[in-house]
Structure 1
Amino acid sequence: MRSKPHVAAIVVAAGRGLRAGGGRPKQYRMLAGRPLLSHALRTFQHHDGLSQLLVVIGAGDEDLYGAAVTLSATLLPPVTGGETRQASVLAGLEALAATPPDIVLVHDAARPFVSARLIDDAIATVATGAVAAVPGTAVVDTIKTVDADGRVVGTPERAALRAVQTPQAFAFPALLDAHRRAAAAGIVGLTDDASVMEWAGHPVTVFPGESGNVKLTLPEDFDAAKRRMQTAMNDVRVGQGYDVHAFTEGDHVWLGGIRIAHDRGVLAHSDGDVVLHAATDAILGALADGDIGTHFPPSDPQWRGASSDRFLAHAAGLLAARGGRLAMLDVTVVCEAPRVGPHREAMRERMAAILGVGTDRIAVKATTSEKMGFTGRREGLAALAVATVRLPGQ
């Protein structure tokens, strides 16, 4: 296995989950203004250790899925699942088999509070030698086994019990082989992928899970999750960013991740996108985590000509790693030309996709400087940005 393994994640979202109410599969039920699936995907989409992210959806759920997700560089087209969870996971594994990863994570769409640390620990446990690794938390209640009449027939030793969660991590070839063998043998009804690996004879390692990584099943679970989101994200911060670039010879400029034809280019180390640079600095400012030059020094040749969406995605990843989310990004472009208005919506959509939020959280405005100063003399252009973020309270 390579020193830095190729890691993919499968998020299982093919179930019906109707016990949660709301008249639709629970993964598409709204939670704090966004579908549950969107919350479950967010940390994966901004995790630097993942190179592929695949969602397995139910037959006929394509429109619900399309409305629930924001595109990202790692997100692959969805795959249709089967009648059981096992069949759905196998469908996802087969979709990855053409370019197989070293490690695959499997996560339930009904767990919206997965943390970057838990993903890190899952990957690390397999990368250091385990063939299967699952997060588990200690059981605090006394557990009873009962017969069909409800009579207690045993009391397991609580110290040896763990409540198992997702994401579960596996060596990809071993999990694919185990699922194929189970399907060929007619084995159905195993409730998680660790059970499939146990059936196939593989050892499974348990690493510490997180008590907050809960699974939403019933209406009251959604109510509790909503209250948690409302009260936990109470550290509200605002950061500002500013960037400027001089014009030079060229035939286009980049603004908000959109290539815009122009009679000049910009003088810059990267692609010179003042909008994405200002937005990146605004988010970094809200996190009190340096500026764009701290993370991407202009003295480093690897960033020469780099696409600025990488910078903004990095800032979004830092925000997600701290359990935060973007509440609002407001950008103002200052230039005499080119005209921003015709490209405004494309810029909003592109930035929303990079940041993993809806376009309703991205504002783009433009103004001139009334022919005063360097922008008024058409010597360059500038952008200002303000980012409002919410972080878990201390």
Structure 2
Amino acid sequence: MKRAIVILAGGRGSRFGYDKPKQFARMNGKPMFIWSLMVPMSLNFDHIVLVFNEDWMDEAISELEMEDIHGVELIGGGRTRQLSVWNALKYLERCDVDVVLIHDANRPFATCDLYRRVVSDLSKYDSCVPIVKPRDSVYEMEDSVVLGLMKRESLGLIQTPQGFRYDLIMKCHEMAIEEGKEDFPDDSSILLHFGYPIHTTRGELTNLKITFEEDMSLAKYILQFLESKSIKF
């Protein structure tokens, strides 16, 4: 089974309060997007595609060279997350891959075990998406008014990396473009829109999505925890 991984680092990070896109924020001396590359590079993917905003491509190349990282295929992103994935999928058309994983660079702590679970399940299912169950109570709200309590047992918090049979996710992206839809929040939501079933696997609480500047404080603790437990990430 020929496998590819797409890592999305094309966002501008406008909510992050940093003078560069958040994927350049440093943790233990390395930019966030470099941490996100480390596990895929250890897992023998046939293609590792890194998607970056064109305006920051030169700096991304410089960081890759400083870390002596080779074999990463760097391409330009699109106006939205969805269009960045679309660029990567079109790039992979020539590569004859069977499955593709899609991961956000601002989730730098996805472990080897999580990647392996997703890849393993793709031998049995057309898609595989990691989820974690919410620990807090979840309310439905409108204009700061609580409308009702939602059942936690029926809810899941979606993470990446998300895995798909390549021909299926390519088909769904094509149909979304034909419908003029360009802003789905993730790739599993595109499958859901077109009525395809989505298989799930156990996600990880440490697989933090770094969105705001204050998330970096928590990220440093997660990094220390994973290193102290010798967890491969």
Residue of structure 1 aligned with 2:179, choices 174, 185, 191: 185
On the 8 A contact 2:10/2:51 being kept in 1, the answer is yes
Normalising by the residue count of structure 1, what TM-score does the alignment of the two structures yield? 0.56
Number of the residue aligned with 2:10: 14
Number of the residue aligned with 1:207: 201
Number of the residue aligned with 1:96: 92
CA offset digits 1:184-235 (Å, max 9, x no partner):
1011321110001111221101110111111111111112212333455347
Q: Distance in 2 between matches of 1:99 and 1:234?
A: 38
Counterparts of residues 101-112 of structure 1 (less than 5 Å): 101-112=97-108
CA positional deviation for 1:28: 1.0
3-state SS, counterpart of residue 153 of structure 1? strand
CA positional deviation for 1:67: 2.5
CA positional deviation for 1:71: 2.5
Number of the residue aligned with 2:219: 225
Number of the residue aligned with 1:54: 49
3-state SS, counterpart of residue 105 of structure 1? strand
Counterparts of residues 1-394 of structure 1 (less than 5 Å): 5-48=1-44, 50-69=45-64, 70-73=68-71, 75-76=72-73, 78-128=74-124, 130-147=125-142, 149-230=143-224, 232-234=226-228, 322-323=231-232
Higher Rg: 1
Q: Distance in 2 between matches of 1:10 and 1:228?
A: 23
Q: Distance in 1 between matches of 2:70 and 2:195?
A: 36
Q: 1:114 to 1:231 in 2, by over 3 A?
A: closer
* Structure 2 gap segments, 5+ residues each: none
Normalising by the residue count of structure 2, what TM-score does the alignment of the two structures yield? 0.93
3-state SS, counterpart of residue 226 of structure 1? helix
Aligned residue pair count: 230
Q: Distance in 2 between matches of 1:140 and 1:229?
A: 22
Partner amino acid, structure 2, of 1:185: E
CA offset digits 1:345-377 (Å, max 9, x no partner):
xxxxxxxxxxxxxxxxxxxxxxxxxxxxxxxxx
Q: Distance in 1 between matches of 2:224 and 2:122?
A: 35
3-state SS, counterpart of residue 183 of structure 2? coil
Q: 1:19 to 1:117 in 2, by over 3 A?
A: same
CA offset digits 1:132-185 (Å, max 9, x no partner):
1100011111111112x2222232211011111000000000001101110110
On the 8 A contact 1:56/1:92 being kept in 2, the answer is yes
On the 8 A contact 1:28/1:68 being kept in 2, the answer is no
Partner amino acid, structure 2, of 1:137: V
Partner amino acid, structure 2, of 1:204: I
Runs (4+) off by over 6 Å: none
* Structure 1 gap segments, 5+ residues each: 236-318, 325-394
3-state SS, counterpart of residue 22 of structure 1? coil
3-state SS, counterpart of residue 132 of structure 2? strand
Q: Distance in 2 between matches of 1:95 and 1:127?
A: 23
Q: 1:232 to 1:53 in 2, by over 3 A?
A: closer
Q: Distance in 2 between matches of 1:161 and 1:121?
A: 21
Q: Distance in 2 between matches of 1:114 and 1:228?
A: 11
On the 8 A contact 2:99/2:163 being kept in 1, the answer is yes
On the 8 A contact 2:109/2:223 being kept in 1, the answer is no
CA-based RMSD of the aligned residues comes to 1.6
Number of the residue aligned with 1:357: none
3-state SS, counterpart of residue 54 of structure 2? coil
Partner amino acid, structure 2, of 1:114: A
Partner amino acid, structure 1, of 2:131: G
CA positional deviation for 1:11: 0.3
Say which is worse superposed, 182-191 or 114-123, in terms of deviation.
182-191
